[in-house]
Structure 1
């Protein structure tokens, strides 16, 4: 029986709410980045085993809200190719989340975010189509999603690299997040990570997330997307570097 339970101290809860709010503004504005920013930031002072399932729940809520409005623009063939790889590799990623030490999990999270953010910032684009790329991206996304709730970043990178249209990119990402996060949440529950405290945290974070999404959509209508996206990627890189430094310190025996 589920019961409200939250033992998180105020000095952790307040910054966490601020991070959720800011990341939701980013998601509402650019269409991606919520999981990457929240997981990377929250993992600096909260256990990844608590953070990742919570972000899965929030991403599901956001995707369900957005999906009806973009369903007709989804690239169904690409979505199917991505989902095959993701379905296979997500359980492996969840297993890594469950069994790796916290410092190693944080290190993996930050390395993946840093690499993807740098590539996105450099703006790589594909010149010749590669039919194997979507399936391979799905495999990488599944590992990243199960272990760190950042499975969307490899997919975003692939879509930008292949010069996919903005409308199809946004719509396919919304559908992809809806499917993959529900699937990953089921596996986290199977690994006993979906605790009362995690569910309570998700409920607490829901309000700032909804507010942030609304603000982000408003800002998107008022200004250009590129400058904000670049700012978000620089922020992701900065947070990743901080996380890598802390992980390295912990692995060398620091507090």
Structure 2
């Protein structure tokens, strides 16, 4: 079986590449969803700590790729307090990743995603002038979940999508916050020694697939996909949240 610096290029790797392609398209289209799609497959193919680290490697070039859109279209009074809270709370989440049972953490996170999607689909809304405690609370939740499981997007995305605004504004806010989520993981993962050679190699191998699909998703949003933005975002969260919850419950009960 062929290998590349210790990574077998087998069926598992093909499945991970397919997940990275789908995740990259969602990242380019709705601004989030890549980790929610890719990390469960990476965890199944390899293991959770490697999955979180490899996805962080994959996400680094994305920061440069999507940052101009985020700067141009995001609302700074909204994204700044959330981003600061994310950056400060992620190290604690990473400590949880290396200390607590990953199976139990996945169940809690998946249940939280499903709950937030249900609230949004039932018409839960925040006032236009969102208070700072709500923004900070969303950032803290996102940072903890990002550090623990590498999928910190749902809490902050839920807050952003519950506010009124144009699809372009909402997508810009999501892109800016996902930039903060990606950056927040780097130093904690480095501190706890999770950037192993295998994690880095897998991340680098996935970059071309992931980056190319992000371009496809971004073009789709720009050329007619914007009208489907909110429905696509909600459907993505709901489907992946339910699938992850079922898979995590199965793994937890089997452990």
TM range (shorter): 0.7 to 0.9
Does structure 1 retain, via aligned residues, the 8 Å contact 2:86–2:180? Answer: no
Q: How far 1:59 moved relative to its partner?
A: 2.4
Counterpart in 1 of 2:241?
237
Distance of 2:13 and 2:108 partners within structure 1: 24
**Equivalent runs, 1:72-111 vs 2, <5 Å:** 72-111=72-111
Distance of 2:237 and 2:184 partners within structure 1: 27
Counterpart in 1 of 2:177?
176
Q: How far 1:187 moved relative to its partner?
A: 0.7
Aligned-residue Cα RMSD (Å) equals 2.3
Asked if 1:49 corresponds to 2:46, the answer is no
For normalisation by structure 1, the TM-score amounts to 0.86
Distance of 2:246 and 2:64 partners within structure 1: 32
Q: Give the secondary structure class of the aligned counterpart of 1:44.
A: helix
Counterpart in 2 of 1:37?
37
Q: Which structure 2 residue ranges, 5 or more long, are not aligned?
A: none
Question: How many residues matched?
Answer: 248
Counterpart in 2 of 1:138?
139
Distance of 1:185 and 1:214 partners within structure 2: 24
Assess, with a 3 A threshold, how the Cα gap between structure 1 residues 73 and 218 changes in structure 2: closer, same or farther: closer
Distance of 2:116 and 2:181 partners within structure 1: 19
Counterpart in 1 of 2:204?
203
Q: How far 1:212 moved relative to its partner?
A: 1.4
For normalisation by structure 2, the TM-score amounts to 0.86
Distance of 2:121 and 2:163 partners within structure 1: 15
Distance of 1:235 and 1:55 partners within structure 2: 20
Q: How far 1:174 moved relative to its partner?
A: 2.1
